[in-house]
Amino acid sequence: MPFKSVHVEPEVFMQHKGITIYHVYSDDDVDCGKRDWCFGYREDCTDDGFGTFDVEKLPDYDDACDTDEQVQAVIRKAVDAGILTQDGLKE
């Protein structure tokens, strides 16, 4: 049976200092759900890693971060420190 895929914009997780952080979806399918620790710094981010970062790899992340507010605080600190920019993570 034929089907039709429709592009939808990813949901914005947060914005800070001009940088927008987006949700990333399993298999790039909104119906499959949002990834827990993978986020995008580009609107065209994909589940295969294009335009994305793993919040668990940010310096202030720890296993106690289990709410959106705690994850957002970690991302804000990374942006403030210049570790996360609109171009991605800096080495």
pTM for this one? 0.88
Structure tokens at 64: 């106690």
pLDDT confidence of residue 11: 93
3-state DSSP call for residue 36? strand
Give me the pLDDT at residue 29, please.
82
Predicted confidence (pLDDT) at residue 53 exceeds the cutoff of 90:
yes
Sign of the C-alpha dihedral computed for residues 30, 51, 53 and 43 taken in this order: negative
| pLDDT band, very low/low/confident/very high, at 87 (cuts 50, 70, 90) | very high
**pLDDT band (50, 70, 90) for residue 27:** confident
Q: How confident is the model at residue 84 (pLDDT cuts 50, 70, 90)?
A: very high
Do 84 and 78 form a contact (C-beta atoms < 8 A)? yes
